[in-house]
Structure 1
């Protein structure tokens, strides 16, 4: 069975092995510039996720509507007549594409059909897929590389041989009129399975309007350094590019429309520098994935702690600028799946502004198991859960 040796989720593995998810830091740590010392671009006030007025105290509840929409979508064959589309995955990012609406960017993907009891028998497996949202933004159909009879990952690194290396995607954004997605080039190593892989470098994949690979651009970031593209925020004249290193957030920016250029600027603690090695952490103790979202004139960080195997909570912090200073992280939600049997959750938190109403933010987190058989026995053990945070 393709993917039968996969005992833990791809995006989490990337976080644990490549980004130091198991590191420890103080949850209350706040870093970044003093408020008001750094001029910040203003995000478009017309964005649907902007609230009116100051943000209040965050509270969170399970969003069963969106969670059940993904469950139904997977159980019904991912929008494919042959029932062979999306069945389950981790690495759930979303972005809004003009003329397409909400587009979902998924990592390691099991392909259907799903049995009536929600188990999977010999499912297909690819490293990346795209889901198109319908008029309501909820998943409507599955897009992969290859064909529906012989699907392949949505994108593969140039020069890959027998699937090595492969891509795990980060965030995506419209830039210069094109959908561009950060892709982490991952290759096999001599490590002990299932940890026998490593991050090599980062590319940016530019897609055509019908989601074919138009161009692959090698970007900043190298093994042992900052993995850029965990989160992308477009504000005014710049696209802010958030990265991850040792459970800490780093920040760069590019001129709007220039994401694939080689003239980024990097925050060095006191200003912007052209030296990519000058970056410093703007806050600490985050998971393998996190989101930063402009809301009500502030920036909202949603994340897990670094200790995702023992801490099953989602945290929120805010800042007045894209850089900081960040408030102490507040726990707002505990994933009920965390620590149940072999399951772990939450990990890979991502925000979805395209589904969010004013004054609230819809986020997702992933669920997985330390035993691959759990995923085959119940596809829901590898499907996203959604939460609505209200301010």
Structure 2
């Protein structure tokens, strides 16, 4: 492989001298914040079993991370993945060492049917966004635009800085646009990248805007930032950046909103406010999935609730990048996914079941 599969892990410790603006709160009063929420989790929620069964066939996608979902026309769902293994799968559940490995892919679900979408050909599959010289693209948050005709995916460009295992870095942000029926790449356009923020954590449509949630990733500490653009076209209009008290056209004016988020997290409407779901990156290799609440899409995020403990975490196995799938909720029950990986890449070849997303139903209720 060109790089380790564990690169997206949330490595987080508190770094001295790196402050987040106090969440004082003009946290407006709303039920989402005033309520004391409790969480009850049910693991192995759908579509985990469907994806696992598809992976076991070895006829396409056999495991990946990121795990964003986008509803498409015709009752379809696009599952958006970054690092991806394809088949085959050996009878004992292992992978051949020469199995194809791509940096990004889709799995399209319609009912109980799944189809893998890659670039290249069936005999020579490639990533959907071809790698640049000396690097690759990982996928982030995604949405449709142009009345559903486009599938837009934030693509993070990474580049190698040397020959060692960890000699690479994030370089810049792009928007990859695909036709939502053929999934052919239509364009790859740069989006703001001037403030050391990976604008790929989440996309939220709300009151005529698309809010873009980014992460300032300092390795040991991670901070959420917020931008927005009118409408759903991320490359046609100027972005605005949350300053803590208003909006600025200057990307460098963007403030740190919350420490301890994962590179991939979610911000969705909840009750009369907003819910942030994230892996807790305030501790190294955490198993904690947290929910925070706010009356505004820009925070402050308060009253964290522990949603789930990932049971896989331990030894060489790590979990990361949990987030909600709001279009697949059932009432007050969230559908939360998270990724599972190993610090020893040989284990991913020895057991195909490790490197697959897990799904948890999390029911939030007011405390009695």
TM-score by length of 2: 0.88
1:317-360 Cα offsets, whole Å, 9 max, x none, are 11111012211322221111101x31112x01122123211111
Alignment pair present for 1:72 and 2:28: no
**Which of 5, 8, 11 lines up with 1:11 in the alignment?**
8
1:34 aligned residue? 26
1:315 aligned residue? 290
Does the aligned pair in 2 maintain the 1:30–1:326 contact within 8 Å? no
Does the aligned pair in 1 maintain the 2:6–2:341 contact within 8 Å? yes
How far is 1:25 from its partner? 7.0
**Which of 195, 203, 206 lines up with 2:177 in the alignment?**
206
1:158-202 Cα offsets, whole Å, 9 max, x none, are xx23xx321101100112332111000111112731x11111111
Q: Determine which structure has the larger strand proportion and give its number.
A: 2
Distance in 1 of aligned mates of 2:282 and 2:299: 23
How far is 1:390 from its partner? 0.8
Alignment pair present for 1:125 and 2:101: yes
Does the aligned pair in 2 maintain the 1:95–1:173 contact within 8 Å? yes
Distance in 1 of aligned mates of 2:184 and 2:23: 40
Distance in 1 of aligned mates of 2:82 and 2:233: 25
1:196 aligned residue? 167
Alignment pair present for 1:368 and 2:341: yes
Alignment pair present for 1:231 and 2:202: yes
1:81-111 Cα offsets, whole Å, 9 max, x none, are xx2x101111111111223521100011011
TM-score by length of 1: 0.83
**Gaps (5+ residues) in structure 2?**
none
1:333 aligned residue? 308
How far is 1:116 from its partner? 2.4
Does the aligned pair in 1 maintain the 2:200–2:212 contact within 8 Å? yes
2:146 aligned residue? 176
Distance in 2 of aligned mates of 1:379 and 1:314: 24
Does the aligned pair in 1 maintain the 2:205–2:232 contact within 8 Å? no
Distance in 2 of aligned mates of 1:310 and 1:86: 26
Structure 1 pair 211/33, CA: closer, same or farther in 2 (3 Å)? farther
Distance in 1 of aligned mates of 2:74 and 2:267: 25
1:142 aligned residue? 116
1:44-90 Cα offsets, whole Å, 9 max, x none, are xxxxxxx9xx784222221344322211111113xxxxx2x101111
1:251-292 Cα offsets, whole Å, 9 max, x none, are 000011331125111100110111111011121111222111
How far is 1:10 from its partner? 4.4
Alignment pair present for 1:151 and 2:151: no
Distance in 1 of aligned mates of 2:22 and 2:304: 9
Alignment pair present for 1:22 and 2:12: yes
Highest RCO, 1 vs 2 (Cα 8 Å, sep ≥ 6): 1
Aligned to 2:348, the other structure's residue is in SS state: helix
Distance in 2 of aligned mates of 1:7 and 1:167: 14
Alignment pair present for 1:185 and 2:157: yes
Distance in 1 of aligned mates of 2:300 and 2:15: 17
Structure 1 pair 33/233, CA: closer, same or farther in 2 (3 Å)? farther
1:342 aligned residue? 316
Aligned to 1:375, the other structure's residue is in SS state: helix
Distance in 2 of aligned mates of 1:171 and 1:191: 29
